[in-house]
Amino acid sequence: MMMFIRLGLAGAMLALTFGGCRKQPDVAQSQSTCTSNNSTVAMTKCNGSNGEVPAEVRAQFNWKTNGDNTITITGYTGTGGVVNIPSTISGLVVTSIGNGAFLFCASLTSITIPNVVAEIKDGAFFRCTNLTEVYFRGSAPRLGDTVFRGDDNTTIYYQIGTTGWDKTFGGRPTAVWNPQGATHGEAR
């Protein structure tokens, strides 16, 4: 299944209007290319085969392909709850979460971020008012401004042996996470 994804001011206005996660755009089938962020990206495995992220998971995210053939998550269209950011989409590594990607996503409660994400941009999780847990599988990424503003009940969890963590991260308290003893909804 292929997706045509439009993102920009109109997407942000949907998030503001509905007070939740962005709504999933129309889905087109039987296409030979995938379009992301108004630019066409040639993909040989748009259907999620060969060990890639399944189509139903990829369909939850808007993304753009960067000049270095990495991915930036630019939006979220899923229903919220517990969300796992994939390490790869269509065979490309997810290295950043873009400006306002989860902006006003009040239905988001927990998110796990893979060790390949090196940057989270401005306002990525701005006013996700029910977000209580953010789990990082790697070292602390670079943070933009106001990444967790308005997320007053959020705790940041990190693994022992990773670097860049302090008592707070992005203005939120931190705690050590042991994925082998995980009891919450996060991925192990």
Tell me which of 53 and 174 has the higher pLDDT.
174
- Does the pTM surpass 0.85? The reply is no
Residues 180 and 140: their CA atoms lie apart, in Å, by 20
DSSP labels for 132-165?
-EEEESSSPPEE-TTTTTT-TT-EEEEETT--S-
What pLDDT band is residue 180 in, cutting at 50, 70 and 90? confident
Q: From CA 25, how far away is CA 52, in angstroms rounded?
A: 21
CA distance 28 to 30: 7
- Alpha carbon distance 28, 18 (integer Å): 24
Structural domains of the chain, with CATH:
2-181 (3.80.10.10)
Supply the DSSP symbol for 12. H
What is the per-residue pLDDT across 82-113, written as a single tens digit (0 to 9) for each? 999 999 999 999 999 999 999 999 999 999 99
| Strand order from edge to edge, sheet including 108-113 | 81-84, 108-113, 133-136, 155-159, 172-177, 168-169
Whether residue 7 has pLDDT greater than 80: no
Q: What's the CA gap between 5 and 26, in Å, rounded? A: 8
Residue 37 Cα to chain centre, angstroms: 15
Q: Are strands 71-76 and 88-89 parallel, antiparallel or unpaired?
A: unpaired
Tens of pLDDT, residues 71-85: 999 999 999 999 999
Who wins on pLDDT, 1 or 61? 61
Residue 11, pLDDT > 50, answer no
Residues 6+ apart with CB under 8 A from 117: 85, 94, 95, 96, 97, 138, 141
